[in-house]
């Protein structure tokens, strides 16, 4: 089966949960014998034609905050139709605004949308973008042959908002087994076990500013407890340069806060491996891959108590009241005071992730959905 992945920025993933999702899912589907085409934006990836058995195809886009995704989706659909793909698999509600287009260009193909997040809740968007994203949600749930929800919260949202039964297939991760190189921490002046880490794109709804404020509050109230420990915020801009500058100003007067910028590969592996614990303070999510990755490393995750985070951390992590600097500071204090609890929670989280969020199982379920959609017409003919 020839499958087109559309909507992501590209692979290899440098940043972004959707990009990591598409990279891992595509490579597993390719390993199962499918011809997988991942459409990439020129500004995101370096020249590469094959990655982990997946064909990487660059198509044109207008690289601006509001036009990048939709123009890239349009050109990707045109190319995928020429490639005569069997499945158009869209990722995200924004690209889903064009989910009807493949049905005109290639009626025999199947269209699937993965609903990753309620993007209109993100603070970076204005009223018109939010309106279009809301329309994209409706298209994502009503136009495709099947809709996938990456969390049970989103599955419920699709049912209550649009009367659609979405298929729950979560994000996943791999359990890392290789040792990391501690020398990769030196450029950031970090020491193993002596920093708390946040990993996310630096966009406002991820709430890095809330974490910085809580860390400063904790250090001011309990300087001896914090000691020489640091806060590492790993991530970079996503058309949000003004917000990044705001964070840089907030961290400027506090040497214990380290902004590493975007990291990937062995450096990101080292940062996750050597963290004391991780924090995920976001206000809006789908099913956060950064939390899944941290848990796969056996790290205790302290997350905001939004429903999407609670699917992972309610029973296998720790939580605080979303957007509450005081409560986050209190929970950070508790983390530093209880290293044995941090170790125990992290170990249990790793076991839970290995059992329930493995990419091989997720790819198998997705593959089964593809096959089922192709069999439905035949089954209908037989029953008639």
pLDDT band for position 248 (50/70/90)?
very high
Do 145 and 237 form a contact (C-beta atoms < 8 A)?
no
Contacts of 167 (CB under 8 A, 6+ apart): 146, 147, 148, 149, 369
Q: What is the mean pLDDT of residues 294-308?
A: 96
Do 41 and 9 form a contact (C-beta atoms < 8 A)?
yes
Stated length of the chain: 384
Which residue in the block uniquely carries the two structure tokens 């302290």? 302
The pTM for the full model equals 0.87
Q: What is the mean pLDDT of the chain?
A: 93
For residue 126, the model assigns a pLDDT of 84
For residue 380, the model assigns a pLDDT of 44
Higher pLDDT: 54 or 375? It is: 54
Contacts of 306 (CB under 8 A, 6+ apart): 282, 283, 284, 285, 322
Taking alpha carbons only, the member of 129, 128, 97, 125 closest to residue 113 is 97
Question: Cα dihedral sign for 71, 74, 76, 79?
Answer: negative
* Domains parsed from the chain with CATH numbers: 2-172+358-383 (3.40.50.2000), 182-356 (3.40.50.2000)
DSSP run (H or E) holding 322 = none
What proportion of the chain, given as a percentage, has pLDDT over 90?
82
For residue 378, the model assigns a pLDDT of 56
- Does the structure show a pLDDT above 60 at 250? yes
For residue 184, the model assigns a pLDDT of 96
Cα(380)–Cα(374) distance, integer angstroms: 11
Taking alpha carbons only, the member of 162, 160, 192, 196 closest to residue 179 is 192
For residue 286, the model assigns a pLDDT of 83
Helix extents (H) in 94-200: 101-105, 127-142, 152-162
pLDDT, one tens digit per residue, over 176-185 is 988 899 999 9
Contacts of 33 (CB under 8 A, 6+ apart): none
pLDDT band for position 377 (50/70/90)?
low
Do 186 and 271 form a contact (C-beta atoms < 8 A)?
no
- Does the structure show a pLDDT above 80 at 384? no
pLDDT, one tens digit per residue, over 30-72 is 999 999 999 999 888 776 788 999 999 999 999 888 899 999 9
User: Measured in whole angstroms, how far is the alpha carbon of residue 342 from the centre of its chain?
Assistant: 24
Q: What is the mean pLDDT of residues 166-174?
A: 93
Cα(37)–Cα(109) distance, integer angstroms: 15
Instruction: Give the CA diameter of the chain.
Output: 76
Query: In the numeric block, which tokens belong to residue 204?
Result: 């406002």
Do 172 and 292 form a contact (C-beta atoms < 8 A)?
yes
pLDDT band for position 383 (50/70/90)?
very low
User: Measured in whole angstroms, how far is the alpha carbon of residue 215 from the centre of its chain?
Assistant: 24
List 258's β-bridge partners, or say none.
232
For residue 47, the model assigns a pLDDT of 63
pLDDT band for position 381 (50/70/90)?
very low
Query: In the numeric block, which tokens belong to residue 66?
Result: 């509001």
pLDDT, one tens digit per residue, over 266-291 is 999 999 999 999 999 999 898 899 99
Higher pLDDT: 302 or 284? It is: 302
Cα(285)–Cα(313) distance, integer angstroms: 13
For residue 239, the model assigns a pLDDT of 82
For residue 283, the model assigns a pLDDT of 93
For residue 382, the model assigns a pLDDT of 45
What proportion of the chain, given as a percentage, has pLDDT over 70?
97
Cα(235)–Cα(243) distance, integer angstroms: 12
């Amino acid at each position: 089966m020839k499958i087109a992945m559309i909507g992501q920025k590209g692979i290899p993933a440098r940043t972004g949960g959707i990009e990591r999702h598409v990279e891992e899912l595509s490579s597993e589907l390719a390993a199962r014998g499918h011809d997988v085409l991942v459409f990439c934006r020129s500004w995101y990836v370096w020249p590469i034609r094959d990655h982990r058995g997946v064909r990487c195809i660059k198509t044109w886009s207008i690289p601006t905050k509001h036009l990048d995704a939709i123009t890239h989706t349009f050109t990707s659909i045109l190319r995928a139709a020429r490639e005569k793909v069997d499945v158009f698999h869209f990722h995200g509600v924004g690209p889903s605004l064009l989910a009807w287009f493949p049905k005109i260009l290639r009626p025999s193909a199947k269209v699937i949308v993965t609903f990753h997040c309620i993007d209109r809740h993100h603070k970076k968007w204005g009223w018109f973008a939010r309106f279009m994203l809301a329309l994209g949600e409706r298209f994502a749930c009503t136009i495709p042959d099947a809709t996938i929800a990456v969390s049970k919260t989103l599955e419920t949202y699709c049912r209550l908002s649009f009367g659609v039964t979405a298929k729950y297939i979560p994000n996943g991760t791999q359990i890392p087994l290789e040792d990391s190189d501690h020398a990769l921490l030196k450029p950031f002046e970090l020491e193993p076990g002596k920093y708390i880490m946040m990993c996310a794109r630096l966009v406002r709804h991820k709430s890095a500013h809330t974490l910085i404020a809580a860390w400063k509050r904790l250090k001011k109230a309990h300087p001896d407890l914090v000691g020489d420990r640091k806060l590492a915020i790993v991530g970079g801009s996503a058309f949000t340069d003004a917000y990044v500058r705001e964070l840089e100003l907030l961290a400027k007067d506090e040497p214990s806060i380290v902004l590493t910028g975007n990291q990937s590969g062995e450096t990101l592996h080292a940062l996750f491996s050597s963290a004391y614990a991780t924090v995920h303070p976001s206000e809006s999510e789908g099913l956060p891959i950064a939390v899944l990755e941290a848990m796969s490393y056996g790290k205790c995750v302290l997350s905001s108590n939004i429903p999407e985070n609670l699917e992972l951390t309610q029973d296998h992590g720790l939580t605080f009241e979303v957007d509450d600097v005081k409560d986050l500071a209190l929970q950070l204090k508790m983390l530093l005071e209880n290293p044995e609890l941090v170790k125990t929670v992290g170990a249990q989280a790793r076991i839970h992730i290995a059992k329930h969020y493995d990419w091989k199982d997720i790819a198998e379920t997705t593959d089964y959905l593809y096959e089922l959609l192709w069999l439905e017409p035949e089954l209908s003919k037989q029953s008639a």
